[in-house]
């Protein structure tokens, strides 16, 4: 009786998960839609080449990882759905590949990423030079605003600040926070290990002086150093509005590129092409499921029918996981999912063949089911473990296309073990007769005529 109650519970849970999948997909404001990759949703792919000529071999990997992190922050800043930013090495070249699903305008995508902004931290010139230059520039600007014909020269053309060597390469991140006492917006800067030492030296030598932060050669803020900062974490405050502070954070993160990059390739994938690929993948999956269900039903009879129910449970569980994790589905990922369905069927076939052997050896149906699962477990375990190991290797070493396949395939194999060994077993034991008769022998004969 307990087994039948458990079986009914599993069926109800499957129905509820199926309803969750349907409702979250048909609801336009759902928080759990399927995340579609560039090849299915359409969008833009940008390929950049990084200039690593000024980096030592030991700094290349760290700088490229930092570059990827900065570009990810930029794309997320604009609310792009599931952007994919990855690194690729081609010979001696280091490349950055950016995929933006749902962004069909290449120019818009390039604007999101930006060109090659340079973030620099500069200090005041010796003596009164900085103030003299600023005053000369202000006078020239006032004359121009007054309608006078002025050709700036001399001090007015000079930069009031000088380079320090501290650039966006050494800035780990910038973030907006609020003073817990006054509620005033403040901007926090965090430098990496090397930048921490450089910033400590810079602040030590410039207490009560201005440190100007430049983006693409233009100053974006000029904070005054109040004390030496040794921990690599600086705070910029001083009458910011929340919007101004947010804009400053954006600019700091926007310009914190560890290396300069050059756009070398663009590709736009139309949504119609992605939709066609998606529909064909779904159609292939449906046909495969129907063909598999027919084979299981006609060859294995009642156990085959129950395995189709278990297979349906597997499918709805996988779809729910894709939504909840969430998994970004690509055409390769859908292929991995369809292949994992085959693994789920394979486990059932192994069990049913074992049950058939036990029935031939004279065991009753109930005992044959238990013995069949026990004897098939080792084969199922070894087969699935080898598949999981393969999926892990593909995910670890593969490109994004291979990773999508490996992820869905690996998750599918693990879920298939659960449905084959728990759902199918529970359903079989729930309907197994207490005493064998001609009808029960026919229904559980598993391919024996």
* Beta carbons of 365 and 440 less than 8 angstroms apart: yes
- Most confidently modeled range among 65-69, 89-93, 153-157, 388-392: 388-392
Mean pLDDT of 20-47: 83
pLDDT-derived band at 416 (thresholds 50, 70, 90) equals: confident
Residue 11, classed as helix, strand or coil, is helix
Query: 101 CB contacts (<8 Å, ≥6 apart)?
Result: 36, 37, 38, 41, 42, 43, 80, 81, 82, 83, 84
CATH class of the region 119-125+160-256: alpha beta
Which of 55-64, 127-136, 173-182 has the lowest average pLDDT? Answer: 55-64
Structurally, at CATH architecture level, domain 2-36+270-443 sits in Up-down Bundle (1.20)
- In terms of DSSP H, where are the helices of 208-330? 242-255, 271-324
pLDDT tens column, 129-141: 888 888 888 888 8
Average pLDDT over residues 338-355: 85
Average confidence (pLDDT) over 175-197: 85
Most confident of 48-57, 235-244, 350-359: 350-359
How far apart, in whole angstroms, are the C-alpha atoms of residue 231 and residue 200? 8
- Say if CB 265 and CB 46 are below 8 A apart: yes
User: Is the model's pLDDT at 192 over the cut of 60?
Assistant: yes
Q: Considering the entire predicted model, what is its pTM?
A: 0.61
Please say whether the beta carbons of 26 and 129 come within 8 A: no
pLDDT band, very low/low/confident/very high, at 238 (cuts 50, 70, 90): low
pLDDT value at residue 40: 78
Residue 50 pLDDT class (50, 70, 90 cuts): confident
* Pairwise pLDDT comparison (425 vs 331), residue with the higher score: 425
- Domain ranges across the chain: 2-36+270-443, 43-115+262-268, 119-125+160-256
Is it the case that residue 81 has pLDDT exceeding 70?
Answer: no
Mean pLDDT of the chain: 82
pLDDT at 115 over 60: no
Q: Which residues on adjacent β-strands are paired with residue 84?
A: 99
Q: Check whether the bond before 326 is cis (ω within 30° of 0).
A: yes
Token duo for residue 298: 């006609």
CB 353 within 8 A of CB 427: no
Question: What's the rounded mean pLDDT across residues 55-76?
Answer: 74
Of the pLDDT bands very low, low, confident and very high (cuts 50, 70, 90), residue 439 is confident
Strand partners, 85: 98
Per the model's pLDDT, the better-predicted residue between 55 and 7 turns out to be: 7
pLDDT average, residue stretch 258-282:
76
Look up residue 72 and give its two tokens.
Answer: 């990810």
Q: What percent of the chain has pLDDT over 70?
A: 90
Residue 257 has pLDDT above 70, yes or no: no
> Looking at residue 393, what is its pLDDT?
93
pLDDT at 15: 94
Q: How many CB atoms lie within 10 A of CB 389?
A: 11
Among 185, 160, 39, residue whose Cα is nearest residue 99: 39
- What top-level class would CATH report for the domain 43-115+262-268? alpha beta
Query: Does residue 46 surpass a pLDDT of 90?
Result: no
In which band, very low, low, confident or very high, does the pLDDT at 386 lie, cut at 50, 70 and 90? Answer: very high
Q: If you average pLDDT over each of 75-79, 154-158, 302-306, which comes out highest? A: 302-306
Give pLDDT, residue 273. Answer: 60
Return d(Cα 171, Cα 44) in angstroms, integer: 28
268 confidence band (pLDDT: 50, 70, 90): confident
Looking at residue 14, what is its pLDDT? 93
């Amino acid at each position: 009786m307990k087994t039948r109650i458990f079986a009914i519970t599993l069926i109800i849970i499957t129905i509820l998960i199926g309803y969750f999948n349907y409702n979250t997909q048909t609801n336009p404001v759902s928080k759990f839609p399927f995340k579609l990759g560039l090849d299915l949703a359409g969008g833009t792919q940008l390929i950049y080449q990084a200039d690593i000529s000024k980096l030592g071999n030991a700094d290349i990997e760290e700088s490229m990882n930092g570059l990827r992190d900065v570009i990810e922050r930029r794309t997320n800043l604009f609310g792009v759905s599931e952007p994919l930013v990855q690194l690729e090495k081609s010979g001696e070249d280091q490349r950055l590949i950016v995929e933006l699903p749902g962004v069909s305008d290449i120019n818009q995508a390039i604007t999101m990423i930006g060109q090659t902004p340079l973030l620099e931290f500069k200090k005041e010139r010796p003596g009164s030079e900085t103030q003299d230059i600023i005053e000369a520039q202000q006078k020239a600007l006032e004359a121009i605003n007054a309608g006078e014909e002025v050709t700036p020269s001399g001090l007015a053309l000079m930069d009031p600040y000088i380079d320090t060597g501290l650039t966006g390469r050494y800035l780990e991140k910038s973030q907006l926070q609020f003073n817990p006492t006054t509620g005033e917006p403040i901007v926090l800067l965090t430098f990496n290990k090397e930048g921490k030492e450089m910033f400590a030296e810079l602040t030590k030598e410039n207490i009560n002086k201005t440190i100007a932060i430049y983006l693409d050669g233009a100053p974006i803020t000029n904070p005054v150093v109040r004390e030496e900062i040794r921990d690599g974490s600086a705070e910029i405050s001083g009458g910011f509005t929340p919007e101004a502070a947010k804009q400053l954070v954006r600019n700091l993160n926007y310009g914190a590129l560890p290396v300069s990059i050059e756009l070398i390739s663009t590709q736009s994938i139309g949504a119609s092409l992605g939709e066609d690929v998606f529909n064909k993948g779904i159609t292939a999956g449906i046909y495969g499921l129907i063909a598999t269900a027919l084979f299981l039903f006609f060859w294995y009879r009642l156990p085959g029918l129950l395995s189709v129910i278990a297979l349906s449970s597997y499918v709805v569980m996988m779809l729910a996981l894709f939504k909840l994790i969430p998994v970004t589905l690509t055409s390769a990922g859908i292929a991995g999912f369809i292949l994992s369905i085959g693994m789920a069927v394979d486990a059932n076939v192994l069990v049913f063949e074992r049950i058939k052997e036990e029935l031939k050896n004279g065991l009753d149906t109930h005992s044959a089911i238990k013995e069949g699962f026990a004897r098939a477990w080792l084969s199922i375990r070894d087969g699935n473990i080898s598949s999981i190991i393969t999926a892990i290797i593909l995910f670890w070493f593969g490109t994004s296309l291979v990773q999508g396949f490996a992820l869905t395939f690996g998750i599918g194999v693990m879920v298939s073990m659960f449905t084959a060994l728990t759902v199918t077993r529970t359903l079989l034991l729930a309907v197994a007769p207490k005493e064998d008769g001609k009808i029960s022998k026919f229904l559980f004969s598993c391919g024996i005529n």
